Amino acid sequence: MVLPSQSALFISRQDLISYGFGEYEATQLLRMAKANLVKQGLNYYAIRGRRRVPASAVEQILGCPLFTAQTGTLDGRAKETEQFDQRE
């Protein structure tokens, strides 16, 4: 899995879609993240045109880290594939 193109600190709807979320899910995650940031007093995210939010805001909603969880999953698959190839 490739990290977001601009920065791992911020994430957009397209980044979430590339991670496997549906379009609706990605949009809702960003809306929830923006609403939480505004509640924390970061009025910068109240503007409709903001298309990127801190990845930590999305991780807080999901309850798990985005990048390390996926990296670990991919590493596990690679190891399983290597073991399978060695058996043949």
pLDDT tier for residue 87 given thresholds of 50, 70 and 90: low
Percent of the chain with pLDDT over 90: 53
What's residue 69's pLDDT?
43
Round the average pLDDT of the chain to a whole number and report it. Answer: 78
More confident: 68 or 36? 36
What's residue 60's pLDDT?
92
The whole domain housing 72 covers 10-87
User: Does residue 63 belong to any structural domain of this protein?
Assistant: yes
What's residue 6's pLDDT?
47
Mean pLDDT to the nearest integer, 19-41: 94
User: Does residue 51 belong to any structural domain of this protein?
Assistant: yes
User: Does residue 4 belong to any structural domain of this protein?
Assistant: no
Give the C-alpha separation, 69 to 53, whole Å: 19
User: Does residue 5 belong to any structural domain of this protein?
Assistant: no
Q: Do residues 30 and 53 lie in contact, with contact meaning Cβ atoms separated by under 8 Å?
A: yes
Give the C-alpha separation, 64 to 61, whole Å: 8
Buried b (16+ CB within 10 A) or exposed e, 6-30: eeeebbbbebbeebebeeeebeebb
Total domains in the fold of the chain: 1
pLDDT tier for residue 8 given thresholds of 50, 70 and 90: low
User: Does residue 54 belong to any structural domain of this protein?
Assistant: yes
Give the C-alpha separation, 61 to 73, whole Å: 20
